[in-house]
Amino acid sequence: MVRATVAKPELLLADEPTGNLHSDQAKEIMDLFCKLNAAGTTIVQVTHSETNAGYGKRIIRLKDGWLEPHSNEIADSRSQIADILRRKLNGE
């Protein structure tokens, strides 16, 4: 986590960031994500954990490779999600 956050990135991609951690350590990571997000870092987390997903401001659920239409505040299309990520990566 230190390597990923030391440069204060605008975008942090986290694939199962707490997958092999004790629940106390996982909570510490999620608390760190909350602080980073409050400081302006966009965090995209991929997780199977409903607890971890609950920390997010937006939940996008996938099923069989497709976006589920009833996801919380879901973007209207894949292209809209790609556009959001593209703008973040370009510093817009």
Q: What is the pLDDT along the chain (92 residues), one digit of tens a residue?
A: 777 777 888 899 999 999 999 999 999 999 999 999 999 999 999 999 989 999 988 888 888 888 777 654 444 556 667 777 788 788 77
pLDDT for residue 76: 53
Same domain, residue pair 51 and 67: no
Same domain, residue pair 69 and 53: no
Kindly report the pTM of this predicted structure.
Answer: 0.68
Same domain, residue pair 67 and 51: no
Same domain, residue pair 73 and 92: yes
| Residues of the domain holding 71 | 60-92
pLDDT for residue 34: 94
Asked if 44 contacts 12 with a C-beta cutoff of 8 angstroms, the reply is: yes
Angle, vertex CA 17, rays to CA 15 and CA 18, nearest 5: 140
pLDDT for residue 7: 81
Same domain, residue pair 65 and 51: no
pLDDT for residue 58: 83
Residue 3 located in a structural domain: no
